[in-house]
Chain A
Amino acid sequence: MTDPILEFEDVDIRYRTEKGNDVHAVNDASFSINRHDYFGLVGESGCGKSTIADAIVGGLDANGEVTSGTIRYKGEEIQDYSEKEFNRNVRWKEISVIPQSSMNSLDPVMKLSNQAVEMAKYHTDLTKTEAVDRLRELFEVVGLSESRIHDYPHQFSGGMQQRAIIAFALYLRPSLIIADEPTTALDVIMQDQIIDYINGLKDDWDISMLMITHDISVVFENCDSMAVMHGGQVAETGSVVDVFDRPRHPYAILLQNAFPDVRFPDRELAVIDGHPPQLRGEVDFCTFADRCPWAKPECREGAPDPQAVAGDDDHQAWCIRADEMEELAADHLDRNATEESILEGER
């Protein structure tokens, strides 16, 4: 029934440091993205979400390494690919990236059309004219004027640059796009338009997406399934509706309640005390234990195993008390039922 395009299975990613004090940035991460699904990955800065994105396209820093576990793309293990194999088989053709700050990811001294020509030179047999023509078509798809393809990046506004980046991400017709905070640098109205474009890609281009963001509302609105990360561990994964209706990891519960919702301005925001731990050395404990209001001594004695929530293997929480959470966090879980939105037309 499920047809995963990308699977993470017990993946550990480490960054070596000089003093042998390795940073265990990602520990035992498991999740899978189905074909034609939009998958959201949320968590705070430093939780390992961008490291995961880098690992998928072989873009980890020189001291970073997938030390164990498997990353499968369309059934094939890619975690041990060499640079050359990534270039030939994966990058741009199969998996492309929409990076966080478009302003810095376009070459400032190169016309956009020339950047397309360069990409075509390395990855395709297209001639220069064909390469430019293809970019022209894509400009239309993302709502940019064709006449501007010979412009330099600085002649574009932030929103236009982000659209140009989306056009480049589509250039070699990939199956999976990794969008790393695609809209954080933009104003709300522009953010909404860009997200709307990104949503349209799913059917028009038959794309799957890994959307990395700290903005849980963008994930709830636009993704099919999601994972919440904390301190290098996956905390909870499942369909967005499951994670929203029945969150069972304390971090997933508190994170949802910490997020301001414009519909309920009088709501008290949840506060998550403390900070994530420094991930130096072996991580054999729950990284959320120090911040968790429901932690037990056992939480610090071993990394938690996933628990299927309500018997559903697609919805898992990495918390040893997941079964009790409904009771323990009852105060935090029933908020949406009791309040009424103040927005126009919803009262």
Chain B
Amino acid sequence: MSADEPVLELESMDKHFKTTSSFVETVKETVFGEGPKLVRAVDDLDMTLEQNQVQGVIGESGCGKTTLLRTVMGLYDPTGGDIRFQGQSTSEFGKADWKEFRRKVQIVFQDPFNSLDPKFSVRRTIAEPLEIHDIDYDRSDIEEMLEKVGLTPASQYIQQFPNQLSGGEKQRVAIARALVTDPEVILADEPSSMLDVSTQAEILNLLNGLTSEFGVSMIYISHDLSTVSYICDEINVMYLGRIVEKAETRELLSDPKHPYTKALIQSIPIPDPHHDRERATIGGEPGDPIDMPEGCRFKTRCPERMDVCDHTPRDVDPDGEGERSVACHLYYDHEATTGDAEEPVEEHTPETPT
């Protein structure tokens, strides 16, 4: 593997779920020639995770963040597209490849209260992945790992059980368990959202140092933009299965392009009574992922709605520097480019939002 090759690449990855597995429904669908109804949880998603990079994914509940993570893990088979790990497609993986993949790609779950086995001591929790992957270890390796995630003195924690640990300590054990196999990639599913503010800060600081200290890359998903901005180099904004905007963290916060990103940023409360925040104007909740509107999926809530939004927007680079992309009709000249818009597009006048 060369040094500048991305660790993980997702190329037009899809994960669609059928809404029914009933025999009768399936026959009906076949007889009447209509395809099965699909939940397009993740749709045509591209992402490249470079070495030592932290990619953030944010979006509201139900936008497909967790499905994305599970598909990358191999817990779901993607229904389309390709996942390449260190250059090799996971669809070509054999059993041994998967085992190696699982060693190199580790996950930290949202809820530390449920993701640790209550009957496993800290020592056994951390030793388990080592045993599974036939890695030699002794007690001092485990203690060293615990010290690295800030559980000091390690000798005090090593014999404890999850019920003796606080939420923050549990999450540290979960992080230690993920790091102990020397992985290349950590997948983090809102690892700080269940914790109190003061503990959350500890976990965020710990995660923040992971890439430099352990040389891992990370995909970090969350619904909370203010925590994501502490951790991530680049942020992907996801809406109903699609990434609508991708940019470097500061760029995204200081100059959001997509109307949804703007609304997300405007909705974050600012811990400062002197700050007068302009509230977002968009309403409602994400639509139903089964019967999604044609074209842009955000159009039903978008304050900038135009006629052209009935066509699927292409990913465009708003400032032409190749650094960021946004899937919104506002940012390209429809006469000069022909994209997903199949028919000639008339001039677009902004409508009043409904």
Measured CB to CB, the residues of A under 8 A from B are: 44-45, 157, 159, 187-193, 195-196, 214-218, 220-221, 240-241, 244, 254-256, 258-263, 265, 268-272, 275, 336, 342-344, 347
Contact = CB atoms under 8 A, between A and B. Distances in A.
Interface residues of B, number: 44
B98 interface: no
B164 interface: no
B254 A342 contact: yes
B280 interface: yes
Contacts of A336: 272
B196 interface: yes
A255 B201 CA distance: 10
A265 to B, nearest CB: 4
Contacts of A221: 269-270, 273, 275, 277
B74 interface: no
A255 B229 contact: no
Interface in B265-317: 265-275, 277, 279-280, 282-283, 285
B271 A261 contact: yes
Given A265-B230, A265-B253, A256 B225 contact: no
A189 B197 contact: no
Given A195-B269, A221-B275, A244-B274, 14 more contacts: A44-B198, A157-B285, A187-B60, A189-B285, A192-B267, A215-B197, A260-B204, A261-B272, A262-B270, A265-B229, A265-B230, A342-B253, A344-B265, A347-B254
A105 B273 CA distance: 31
Given A44-B196, A188-B224, A343-B254, A256 B271 contact: yes
A221 to B, nearest CB: 5
A336 B250 CA distance: 19
Contacts of A272: 198, 201
A189 B270 contact: no
B256 interface: yes
The 10 closest A-B pairs by CB, nearest first: A217-B271, A272-B198, A269-B201, A217-B269, A265-B229, A192-B267, A44-B196, A262-B226, A258-B201, A187-B60
Given A188-B223, A270-B201, A215 B254 contact: no
Given A44-B196, A189-B282, A258-B200, A275 B166 contact: yes
Contacts of B255: 344
Contact of A188 (B229, B253, B268, B283): B268
Contacts of A262: 225-226, 229, 253, 265, 268, 270
Interface in B219-266: 223-227, 229-230, 249-250, 253-256, 263-266
A342 B250 contact: yes
Nearest to B276: A221
A258 B255 CA distance: 26
Nearest to A191: B267
B49 to A, nearest CB: 20
A259 B60 contact: no
B205 interface: yes
